[in-house]
Structure 1
Amino acid sequence: MPARHATQPSPDSPAVPATAVPATAVPATAVPATAASATAASATAASATAAPANVRTASALWFIAVGAGVFEAALAVTGLLADGSASLSGLAGSLGIRAGIFALAIFMAVRLRQGRNWARVALTLLLGVFGTLSLVIEPVRWLLEGNSIGQFLADADVMTLAFTASRIVHLTAVLSAVALMFSSASNAYFRSVSRASRGI
């Protein structure tokens, strides 16, 4: 039987590459980094709407006002219980209302710092306007009756002076907070948060 010889390619025939079909390059990450892009976008948006100093200070001042209100309520209750003009059970309803107001004020102060315009409006109307009136109406009436501040200071005891000092801090914190909430930097911040929430 004649031996079979392997057919040798002719020198004139074109060379066939070892891999006739080119390999398709597969990127290391075939799926786009959507999560990373979203995280970066969120970080950029958060930094763009970071609360300015005026808003942060206003929020802190509302906390101070609440603290002063709690201190004044404690002094008032202590005085009423000490002279026997009221009982703790009789004051329970009033204290519950005050506690609710204080809790609401704290909640709105937190939301204020987050750029919620409704919290700014609510704090202004409920505490800035009506709250301020409740703080000053009694002292103004007392002065209109012809009383003297000098005589008041001369006759006041330690508890009364502490209450008066707290009331001054309370009122100053409220008025300062309202002014800071409506500064130009604060207005720009609330507008930017509103646009971001609408996706503009």
Structure 2
Amino acid sequence: MTVTELRTTPATPATPPPVLRTAATLWLAAVAFGALEAALMAVTMLYDGVQVTDLLPGMGFRVAVFAGATFLALRLRRGANWARWALAVTLGVFGTISLVKEPIEYVLAGGSIVEAMAGLDAVGWVFATSRVLHVLSVFGALTLMFQPRANAYFKA
């Protein structure tokens, strides 16, 4: 093998398998659902009289998370194994905890999901639907990122 061939031969196959591209798409969908949820929360809080300046730190944090998640998903789509692990740990573990913590605490405190759903207005239904789709997108992406075809791709 010549020096030129060594420099141009990738360590992994050039094209990531479809399962990784689909996982990346699901991560991007999760980002979109998260952005929708953040927008709904902000609009609701502003409607309730909260000042914009009070929302800025939380929204700034969310924008940073969304930007980081988008970057990682795009790197995953191109076949970066480090992005797979970063997504799995940061958003797959800690992000999921942040999404389900409040509803789980509500149920553990004796709250009823049926009663909570009965009290939702239109915005609440959009938010709840988005949150369910958000969590399903994350679980789907996590599952696909570690499918045997993805694992074989990274071992190549």
Fold similarity call, TM over 0.5:
yes
The CA distance in 2 between the partners of 1:120 and 1:46, in whole Å, is 16
Q: 2:26, 2:141 within 8 Å by CA — same for their partners in 1?
A: yes
Tell me which amino acid in the other structure corresponds to 2:83. A
The CA distance in 2 between the partners of 1:124 and 1:77, in whole Å, is 27
Q: Is 1:167 equivalent to 2:123 in the alignment?
A: no
Q: Is 1:65 equivalent to 2:65 in the alignment?
A: no
Tell me which amino acid in the other structure corresponds to 1:82. Y
* Residue 54 of structure 1: aligned partner: 19
1:110-151 per-residue CA deviation (whole Å, 9 max, x = no partner) reads 111122111111100000000000000100000111111211
* Residue 118 of structure 1: aligned partner: 82
SS at match of 2:79: coil
More deviation in 131-140 or 143-152? 143-152
Tell me which amino acid in the other structure corresponds to 1:135. L
Please provide the CA RMSD for this pair: 2.1
Higher normalized helix content (fraction of residues): 2
* Residue 156 of structure 1: aligned partner: 120
Tell me which amino acid in the other structure corresponds to 1:87. Q
1:85-128 per-residue CA deviation (whole Å, 9 max, x = no partner) reads x2111111111111011001000011111221111111000000
Structure 1 position 51, deviation (Å): 1.1
SS at match of 2:53: coil
1:44-85 per-residue CA deviation (whole Å, 9 max, x = no partner) reads 86994311111010000000000000000000001101011x
Bigger Cα Rg: 1
Tell me which amino acid in the other structure corresponds to 2:145. M
Of structures 1 and 2, the one scoring higher in RCO (CA 8 A, sep 6+) is: 2
Q: Which runs of 4+ in 1 moved over 6 A?
A: none
Matched pairs, number:
153
The CA distance in 1 between the partners of 2:57 and 2:111, in whole Å, is 32
Q: 2:24, 2:74 within 8 Å by CA — same for their partners in 1?
A: yes
Gapped runs of 5+ residues in structure 1? 1-36, 193-200
* Identical aligned residues as a percent: 43
Gapped runs of 5+ residues in structure 2? none
